Every structure is written in C-alpha cells, then in structure tokens.
Amino acid sequence: MGILDGLGNLGLGNLQKMDVYEEKKEQEQETQTAKKEEKKFDESSVLLDKSEECPVCGAKFKSKHVRSGRFKAVGSDTDLRPKYQPLDVLKYDAVVCPACGYAALSRFFKFMMPSYEKAIKENISANWQGMEPTGDFYTYDDAITQHKLALANTIVKGAKDSEKAYTCLKLAWLYRGKAETLEPTAENYEAQLKEAKAQEKEFLENAYAGFVNAYSTEDFPMCGMDELTVTYLLAELARRAGKLDEASRFVSTVLTNRNASDRIKERARDVKEMIMKAKEGK
C-alpha cells in the first residue's frame, strides 16, 4: 500500500501514488542542471593591460590588472588577507618586466636605487631567459611564479625586511587561495592540497620573521600599515606559527593601547581567544 492509499475514497485517487519528496528531488535536479549550464565567469573580462616602464632596463610592456569598480571586498581573514568577488584580485599584484626579469609588488615596482639596479642586472637580468606566456588571465600558479620572482628580486637587491615580509605574506595568501579553489575531483587533489597548505605555512613563517625584524628597525607606516596594524598582524602570524607566547605579547600591546580603534581591538580580542584555546589544547 502507498502512504496515500485511502484518498481514492475522497475522489483523489490520482494522488495516491505520489512520492512525498519527488517534487523536491526534481527541483534540486533542475537547480543543479541550471548551475552546470550557467555560463562560467570570464575573468579576462574584468582585466586591463596597463602600460608599464621598467625602472631597471627601460623596456615598455603591458601587465594585467583588475579594472577598478569590477570587484568588491567581501571580508578578510584574521591575518588581514582581503577577499574579493568575483575574482581574487591578489593574483594581479606582482609586476614582471618580460625583458630583464625585474619584478616587484605593484607598490614597490617603481622605486629603484642605483645599488638595486646593479644587483638586479648582475644577478637576474644576466641569466634571464623569459617566462612562458600566460593565458587571458592568471591562474594561481601563474601568480605564484610571478610573486616568487618578485621575492627573489627583493633578496637580490637587498630590500628592506618589510618588503620581503610583505611579499612572503602575499605568497602565503595566494597558496591559501589556491587550496580553496582546488577541485576535489582533480587528479592528485590530496597531494596538491597538502603541498599548498605546507607552502602557505612556510611563507607565513617567513613573513613573521621579516616583520619582526622590520618592527624594531624600520619606520611606520610600513607597507601601507600603521604601527598598531602591524602589531596586530604580528600577533596573528605568531599564533599561526605556533609561537603562542610571542603572539600573546603582541596582542596585549594592541589591547592596552589607548589609541587603538574599536575595530582593531575587536580583532585582537578574537585572536587572544584563539591563542588561549591553543594554549589549553597543549
């Protein structure tokens, strides 16, 4: 007997064979089909080729950037990694000269000292063989390669620790973005995920080391951040690196500062709570 048997006596015999959940199943199937058929977002449609001039070799070239007004911020992670939709804007922050191999984050690209130029020409340009052309937009692997080249340039030219640290932080964020967008059905998914997370951790630790050095030797603002923001960032990077005592010290500095905004204090309290939970779990 069907669960609706008996309705025939009421003149509703045509309903007796209905499946209770059939309509919902059909709707879910239609929704899934619609999503599959929905046109994928065309990342290249929000990009522009910006004209650049290399401060090392003078070459003129184009680099990809996201058009202003074509993305929106949708939040941030506890280590200040910004999140955007409909694409990850962070992929387009490194500028690479295709002629000589000079690369830097966009905020540092045009700043060039004679000693920097000499070091780059001798250690990078002299051996530069060029990069493989990218497609109409950057994949995470494209962006990671470009940012690693930017990091290599900071090391070669002897840049400030803050620039090295900030570049490492950007690389950590890119590896996190890559991990978040890996398809579970992809070949070697588990291995790729493990590698991305390991690389993220390594770059976060390097970012922490660099910012610690810069904190006591460089002036503020640092990479566009004021002293309290950098202090908060150090607390969170230390927590993620498992340096809980150092994390506690930095977060306390933020919470006891009278000039700290309510927003950054609220963030600091969240980090303090995570630090306490981590210590309890030891």
Question: Are 189 and 255 part of one and the same domain?
Answer: no
Q: Tell me which residue of 238, 258, 256 sits closest to 248, measured CA to CA.
A: 238
pTM equals 0.86
Torsion over CA: 223, 228, 231, 237 (sign): negative
62 in helix, strand or coil?
strand
State the Cα–Cα distance between residues 165 and 210, nearest whole angstrom: 5
Question: Are 180 and 125 part of one and the same domain?
Answer: yes
Torsion over CA: 61, 65, 69, 70 (sign): positive
Q: How many domains does the chain have?
A: 2
11 is a domain residue? no
Q: Tell me which residue of 67, 274, 244, 78 sits closest to 173, measured CA to CA.
A: 78
Segment 34-82, tens digit of pLDDT: 555 446 789 999 999 999 999 999 999 999 999 999 999 999 999 999 9
C-alpha distances out from residue 56 to 49, 108, 148, Å: 20, 13, 18
Are 81 and 132 in contact, with CB atoms under 8 Å apart? Answer: no
State the Cα–Cα distance between residues 268 and 82, nearest whole angstrom: 17
Segment 141-182, tens digit of pLDDT: 999 999 999 999 999 999 999 999 999 999 999 999 999 999
Question: Are 107 and 180 part of one and the same domain?
Answer: yes
The answer on pLDDT for 208 being more than 50 is yes
6 is a domain residue? no
Q: Quote the pLDDT of residue 38.
A: 47
Question: Are 207 and 163 part of one and the same domain?
Answer: yes
278 is a domain residue? yes
Segment 111-151, tens digit of pLDDT: 999 999 999 999 999 999 999 999 999 999 999 999 999 99
Segment 224-266, tens digit of pLDDT: 999 999 999 999 999 999 999 999 999 999 999 999 999 999 9
* Domain extent for 100: 43-225
Question: Are 242 and 257 part of one and the same domain?
Answer: yes
State the Cα–Cα distance between residues 81 and 34, nearest whole angstrom: 32
